[in-house]
Amino acid sequence: MDNSVAIKVEHVSKKFARSLKRAMYYGLVDIGKAALIPHRFRSEGLEARINDDRSQVPVSANTQDSGFRSQVSDAGLRPTEFWALQDVSLEVRKGESVGLVGANGAGKSTLFSVLSGIYGPTDGRVQIRGRLQALIALGAGFHPTLSGRENIYINASILGLTTKEINSRLEDIIEFSGIREFIDSPVKKYSSGMLVRLGFSIAVHVDPDVLLIDEVLAVGDAAFQRKCTDYSLKLAQSGKTIVTVSHNHLFIQSMCSRVVWLDHGRIVAEGEADDMLRRYRQFMAAPLDQGRLDTSRSGHPLLIHDMYWTDGAGERVTDLPAGQPVTLNFDLEAFEDVSCARVWIHLHHLEQAHALTGFSMYDDGHYIRCRKGRGVLQIRLPSLYLSSGEFYRVSAGIRDWICGAKLADSFAPTPFTVNDDGIPCLSGVGDANRVKGSMGAKLYIPYEWRAAGNIELRDDNIGAG
């Protein structure tokens, strides 16, 4: 293996059984075969394939897109078995930070487990250079009645430290965990947050060459989360090799230079982080489209046939211009007269549950009256203050003013994007394209810089020119 490569995954596949009883049976069969038939694991052609790869011209790491491979092989699967990973090949160079993205069940955790040696691959080969540490099972092996201090020794030993190493790092571990005053109480008296603090603190002090970071960072209080995130960033910057799994794209974006996108156990694509994340989000947005035009009447007096955006010129758009006037249109049908109904609208970022903002007739005192038949309701926004390059969705509902009863099924149309083509250069200097959502922000608010006195405002484009 090339010296500069930290992780090399070659054609790794891993299968699991869905049924517990089957898994028991297969486990026995596998063990029996392993013990009685030498080389039963040997998969035909693996060596050949690996050698084949070597003879190929190396593909550049940039946006190497293998796409969905069409061959979905059921060969070698017994009943109820499925491939959790299938023919995954991946290389991580030393000092590189790679993010794994993919829907739940895409195989991210399985890949982590194979990388850390917990599961042997069904097929293929993994090579790791240096000490690898997975931040996935924080506090594994903690004994509830033993003290925090005793458990540091146990946990750190399991993670591969010698007693001497633990002794020298003990103080740092306790300090970093921030629970010094409880360190001699039994860990079963710890809150779950304290357990995670201690576990994380031990794990990062193992000082591995290669780190696998799972979404453990999403626990603990805000202060500790920040501490962990900062620490991870520091590790990434200090030249550690890091592979991270997270649904927090901001975290991945700030940490990883390269992103690998997994789906159904296969690598869909890999490439430069920003680009991959964008494509991944685009992909994740797609399934929401389906079934949205279910215009069958469901017993409510009103029906939202369609909901769509139009721009200033009245053209239907799904890519909305930031900073420009836009209109959200409701195509409504009333099956009976409705005397007073109120409409609410929520605007969400695609990946977030809570709304960015909302427009509600409950708040502004309006209501609508509908006679039997069809009509259009519009809400016009004089300027769209959303960052470009992100995905958004709206949801809306109509309720009776008096009793609050639902008058129409809520409606979730296609997610939309925002572009920054129309953003005016407010300050006269600067590049409008750079007004897009920086640092993952979702809200775009027009602004301009001003300077006075000894401070002069300049623009690097002009400065460079």
Q: Which of 209, 272, 333, 459 binds other proteins (CB under 8 A)?
A: 209
Tell which residue, 84, 82, 98, 104, has the closest CA to residue 19. Answer: 82
- Closest approach, Cβ 86 to other proteins, in A, equals 13
Question: Tokens standing for 143?
Answer: 């004994």
Q: Which of 61, 103, 146, 356 binds other proteins (CB under 8 A)?
A: 146
Question: Tokens standing for 89?
Answer: 């090949």
- 200 Cβ partners below 8 Å, 6+ apart? 135, 138, 177, 216, 220, 224, 228
- In this chain, which stretch among 147-155, 252-260, 297-305, 308-316 interacts with other proteins, using CB under 8 A? 147-155
The answer to the question of residue 35 lying near other proteins (CB under 8 A) is yes
- Closest approach, Cβ 76 to other proteins, in A, equals 11
Please, which residue, 82 or 153, has the CB nearer to other proteins? 153
Residue 252: phi and psi, rounded to 5, are -65, -45
Please, which residue, 17 or 338, has the CB nearer to other proteins? 17
- Closest approach, Cβ 128 to other proteins, in A, equals 4
The answer to the question of residue 265 lying near other proteins (CB under 8 A) is no
Please, which residue, 30 or 431, has the CB nearer to other proteins? 30
Rounded to the nearest 10°, the torsion over CA 173, 174, 179, 181 is 170
Q: Does an H or E element contain 266, and which?
A: strand 266-272
Measured CA angle at 27 (ends 26, 28), to 5 deg: 90
Per-residue binding string, other proteins, 345-384, x by CB under 8 A, is ----------------------------------------
Contact 101, 262 (CB under 8 A): yes
The answer to the question of residue 170 lying near other proteins (CB under 8 A) is no
- Closest approach, Cβ 125 to other proteins, in A, equals 4
Q: Which of 49, 150, 253, 440 binds other proteins (CB under 8 A)?
A: 150
- In this chain, which stretch among 42-50, 218-226, 254-262, 271-279 interacts with other proteins, using CB under 8 A? 42-50
- Residue 394 pairs in a beta bridge with 347
# residues contacting other proteins (CB under 8 A): 59
Q: State how far the Cα of 63 lies from the Cα of 89, in Å rounded to an integer.
A: 15
Contact 217, 251 (CB under 8 A): yes
Q: Which of 22, 23, 379, 429 binds other proteins (CB under 8 A)?
A: 23
Please, which residue, 239 or 446, has the CB nearer to other proteins? 239
Q: Which of 100, 106, 159, 317 binds other proteins (CB under 8 A)?
A: 159
**What phi-psi label fits residue 29: left (phi over 0), alpha (psi between -120 and 50 degrees) or beta?**
alpha
Per-residue binding string, other proteins, 93-132, x by CB under 8 A, is -xx-----------------xx-xxxxxxxxxxxxxxxxx
Q: Is the dihedral angle over the CA atoms 174, 175, 177, 179 positive or is it negative? A: positive
Contact set for other proteins, span 399-428 (CB under 8 A): none
Contact set for other proteins, span 50-89 (CB under 8 A): none
Tell which residue, 448, 461, 386, 393, has the closest CA to residue 420. Answer: 386
Per-residue binding string, other proteins, 232-251, x by CB under 8 A, is -------x------------
Q: State how far the Cα of 29 lies from the Cα of 34, in Å rounded to an integer.
A: 8
Contact 196, 216 (CB under 8 A): yes
- Token look-up 């797609």 returns 286
Q: State how far the Cα of 215 lies from the Cα of 236, in Å rounded to an integer.
A: 16
Please classify residue 377 by burial: count the beta carbons closer than 10 Å to its beta carbon, then call 0-12 exposed, 13-18 middle and 19+ buried: middle
Q: Which of 18, 19, 34, 73 binds other proteins (CB under 8 A)?
A: 34
Q: Which of 82, 153, 283, 362 binds other proteins (CB under 8 A)?
A: 153
Contact 240, 211 (CB under 8 A): yes
Please, which residue, 159 or 345, has the CB nearer to other proteins? 159
Residue 128: phi and psi, rounded to 5, are -125, 130
Q: Which of 19, 24, 45, 275 binds other proteins (CB under 8 A)?
A: 24
Residue numbers at the binding site for other proteins (CB under 8 A): 1, 16, 23-24, 27-28, 30-31, 34-35, 38-43, 46, 94-95, 113-114, 116-132, 134, 136-137, 140-141, 143-146, 150, 153-154, 157-160, 162-163, 186, 209, 239
